[in-house]
Structures are given as C-alpha cells and as structure tokens.
A and B are shown apart, each in its own frame.
Chain A
Amino acid sequence: MSAAPGQMTPKLVTALESIDRWRQESDTEADREHAEISEEQERLQREIEERQATLESLATRKTEVEANKASLPGEQLSRRREAALKNLAGDRGLVAARGSLFGDQVKARERRVQELIEKPEYNKLVKEYEEFQDVEMGLDSLPKTYKQAILAHHSNVKKELGPVFEAMAADIEPVDAQGIGVAVVGSIDAPASGSPEALAVIIPTPFETCSKWSERAEDLASLIAYRVISCVGKMLAEVGAADAPLQYAEYENALAIQVWLGDSEVKGNLQRVLDDLIDEANGKAAEFEAGRLRLEMVWVEPEVVAPDEDADGGEG
C-alpha cells in the first residue's frame, strides 16, 4: 500500500508566500498607478502652464487690440486725409490734362475762324473792322453826318461779318477722350449742435486762377473755378447767408474757398443745396460738356482738410 502524498510544505509557508506575492503585486500596482498619476499630473501641469501662457498671450493681445481699436479713429482720419490729398493732386492732374485737350479744341475753333477771315470775301471787311477800332474813339470830333455815315458803314461791315462772329461763337467741339469726374472737396465746421460756422470748398484747380488771373489765360481751370464760385454764391443766397465773407487761399497747390458763416443765420441744409447746385452745373456748362468733365461734391470732416500747422497759405 502506497502512502498518499502528504502536505509537505506547511500551510503557513504557503500563506506567507502568498502574502509576499500579494505585497509584491500590490507594490507593483501601486508604483504603476503612482507613476500614471504623476505622469497625468505632469501632463496637466504642463497643460496648465501652456493654458496660462495662452491666457497671458491672449491678455497681451487683448490689450493690443483695445489699443488698436482706440487708435482707429485717428488712423481713419489719417487715411482719409492722405486719400483726400492724394486724390486732390490726382484730380488737379486730370483737370490740367483735360484743360490741355480743351485748349486744343479752342485753338481748332480759332483756326476755323482764321481760315474764314482769310477768304477774299471777308479779308477786306476784317481789315476795315479792325481799322474802325482805332478811329472809333475819335468819332465824336467829326461832324455829325460824317459820324453817322461811318457808323452806318460799320454796321453794314459787322453784318457782313456775321458768319465770322458766328464761327467764333460756335460751341467748342467735345474733346476726343473719355468722360472724367473730379471731386470738389467740401467741409463744414460746426459746433456739435449748432449752425455751421465755416465752410471750406477745395477745387482741383491751381491757386493761380485766383492770384495770377490777369497774367494767365482764362483756361478750363479758370472756368471750373468760376462755376464752383458761382454755385457757392448761389447757395449762400439760398441759405440766407448772401453777405457771408469769402476768402480764397492756396491749399496743397489747389484753390480753396473759405466762407465765414459765424455772423450769418444759415437757414436750411447748405451741404444739400451746394450738392444740388454743383450737380445742376454739370448739365449746364458748355465747357464741361466740351471737356467731357463732371464735378462732384465730396464732403469730409474739417480735420481731414485742416492745413498742417507749419503750412503757409496765401490769400486772394
């Protein structure tokens, strides 16, 4: 009879070994979890640091955006001023170039008249007409009958020269170029809730149309200036400020009309009235039609056109 295998290792040993394994396994598990938690903590810490850095960066950016936003009105004013000056110079160039083409058309009309007066049927009459200009002043010293005879003859000569007068008064032929629009810049200075105190109107024509008018030809630039001034005069009459004093000044090589309204009682909307009058002038001016040119009022804040503090301005 064989003996059944017995329990050779004491149960305590087995139990202690089991406890050791448990301990070992538990240590391992605790170490693993500890490591995981540490890793997660570090990750979160890094994330917090990154978020913090992002927050700080956002705060900095927010301050920058706020500062930028605060500077926008100034920047807008600066850009509007730059645009106004740049386009004023551009429009002055356009007017000068268009004036040259218009001048060519005026000369073409003169050539047609010249050709006409060189024709034999007019040539002698023109000479007589010219000579009359010299003798006219002395007519009063002649006997009445002589004077009457000369005047009657002169009247006949003038009548026969009718086609020459008509040719000289003929419409200027339109320029061979595309239509252009140029801006007349207007600005009204008024207290927050009150009547306008001053008006500035800047025309893209040289100031010399004012300061040297007697030395220069009456060209397209001069005619544009007359039209705008006429509109300003009419507008002032319509808003009850007919006697408002006007001054003419040089502004960035252009012509500026300055109107003092502080002593007038302005009734109505002068901006709208001037807009309408300029618009109306576009369709009622022979030189605009021939020059294929239109004016348009563009209104800006006074600060946009305020002269630089160190700039000099002449007055007409």
Chain B
Amino acid sequence: MATLDLFEKIRVSQIASSLDLHPFEVARLMGQAGGLPFTLAFDQNDIDRVRELAGVETWWGGNAPTVEDDIPGRGLVRSAAQMLLDREVVGGNTTRADNLFRGLDPADQFVVRRAVNHLIREEVLKSIPTSQGLHLQVDADKVKVLQGIADGSKIPSSLEELWS
C-alpha cells in the first residue's frame, strides 16, 4: 500500500473488494438506498451498510460447522446443504447465492457452485433474481431432499457424479 493510500477515504471498488462484490453491485444497491453521495469517498460505516444492503454473509470460516465425510467434495456439499437448513433458507426466506461459496478457496468454491447449479436444475433449490443479485430458496416440500443430502442418508446419484 502506498503511503498516500493511508490517508485516502475508501473508494467504491474498495468497498466491493472488501465484501467480495462487484463495484457495480455496490453502485446499484447504494442507488436504490437513496443514491450515491456527492463525493465517492467512504468510510468503514459505509462498508457495513453495504454489507447489510447486499445481504452479504460469510458462512465458511474458522467456526463454520462442517460435515465430516471421507470424500472432501461430498463433505463440502453436505455442509452447504446443512448450512441452508440451519439458516432456515426455506419458504419465504432467501439468501444470496454467493453466500454459499464466500470464504471457501477457489477449488472448493467450484465444487459447491456446481452442486448448487445441479440442485437448481433438479428444482431442489430455487433461484430468484433480486436487486442483491441471485438469491436461493428452498421450497418447504424440498426440505427432506436437502436433509437427505446433509445427513448423507439420501444423496441423489446424479449429485454423486460431481465428485466421483
């Protein structure tokens, strides 16, 4: 970091980087929440505000409960399914799709992303466009399917193909 950067206020692109968003998402959300300020210079409070506006959550981290599994990819997907259930992303509740990957390293993100896409195609998960970007939702009648994936009791064979 250059010395001068220490004295500069936060830019839109820096808000985006810190939240793993695209700057255009930040601009759209701020626009919807009243508009951009006269000078595009921000502080930490603005980052927190955008985090809230965007519904950004980091599910994978040091304390994230993960499901133990002999196959790492399957373990990741089972953990992601359990996270959706734990956070009750069911019925009217939705979450940003990328909340399911945020905090994972790129290779693991790839596995979870493929599984999510597969579950959307299989209509276990529903994708909903929102001002925050793509959201995910589990219909009440699909909770059992997701539960079967999470506890490993009934993983659809088509999903197994993703890590076999």
Contact-size category for B: 20 to 34
Q: Is A230's CB under 8 angstroms from B27's CB?
A: yes
Interface-centre pick from A225, A226, A242 (highest chain B CB count, 10 A): A226
Taking CB atoms, residues of chain A closer than 8 Å to B130 are 243
A213 touches B38 (CB 8 A): no
Q: Which of B9, B32, B128, B131 contacts A169 (CB 8 A)?
A: B9
Which residues of the other chain, B, contact A20 by a CB distance below 8 angstroms? none
Q: Is residue B162 contacting chain A, with contact meaning CB distance below 8 A?
A: no
Q: How far is the CB of B59 from chain A (nearest CB, A)?
A: 23
Across the interface, name the chain A residue whose C-beta is closest to B12.
A226
Q: Which of A236-257 contact B (CB under 8 A)?
A: 236-237, 242-246, 248
Contacts of A246 in B (CB 8 A): 24, 28
Q: Contact string, B86-110, partner A, CB cutoff 8 A, digits 1/0? A: 0000000000000000000000000
| A231: interface (CB < 8 Å) | yes
| Contacts known (A169-B9, A213-B22, A218-B13); A236 close to B131, Cβ less than 8 A | yes
- A281 CA / B12 CA spacing, docked (Å): 17
Instruction: Provide the residues of chain B in CB contact with A146, threshold 8 Å.
Output: none
13 A-B pairs (CB sep. < 8 Å): A110-B4, A117-B7, A169-B41, A226-B12, A230-B31, A232-B28, A233-B29, A236-B131, A243-B130, A243-B131, A244-B129, A245-B129, A263-B129
Output the nearest chain A residue to B128 by Cβ-Cβ distance.
A243
The answer, yes or no, to whether B39 is at the interface (CB within 8 Å) is yes
Inter-chain contact A114/B4, CB cutoff 8 Å: yes
Q: Does B32 contact A226, Cβ atoms closer than 8 Å?
A: no
A233 touches B129 (CB 8 A): no
Inter-chain contacts of A243 with B (CB < 8 A): 128-131
Instruction: Assess the B22–A316 pair: CB atoms within 8 A.
Output: yes
What total count of A-B pairs have CB within 8 Å? 110
Q: Is the Cβ of A286 less than 8 Å from the Cβ of B39?
A: yes
- Cα(A241)–Cα(B40), bound, Å: 26
A234 touches B32 (CB 8 A): yes
Question: Which of chain B's residues have a CB closer than 8 A to the CB of A164?
Answer: 7
User: Considering residues A165, A168, A236, which has the most beta carbons from chain B within 10 angstroms of its beta carbon?
Assistant: A168
Contact mask B30-61 → A, CB, 8 Å, 1/0? 11101110111100000000000000000000
State A225–B27 Cα separation when bound (angstroms). 9
The contact string, 1 if C-beta is below 8 Å from chain B, for chain A 215-237, is: 00010001101110111111011
The B-contacting residues of A in range 187-221, CB under 8 angstroms, are 210, 213-214, 218
Q: Output the least CB separation between A242 and chain B (Å).
A: 5
CA distance A226 to B21 in the complex (A): 14
- The answer to the question of A113 belonging to the interface, with a C-beta cut-off of 8 Å to chain B, is yes
- A133 at the B interface (CB under 8 A): yes
Residue of A nearest to B1 (CB): A133
Cβ-closest chain B residue relative to A286:
B39
Interchain CA distance A80-B129 in the complex, whole Å = 34
With CB as the reference atom, state the residue of chain A lying closest to B40.
A223
CB closest residue in chain A, given B28: A233
B6–A226 touching, CB < 8 Å:
no
User: B31, A229: Cβ atoms under 8 Å?
Assistant: yes
Pick the residue among B17, B24, B30, B32 that contacts A316 (CB under 8 A): B24
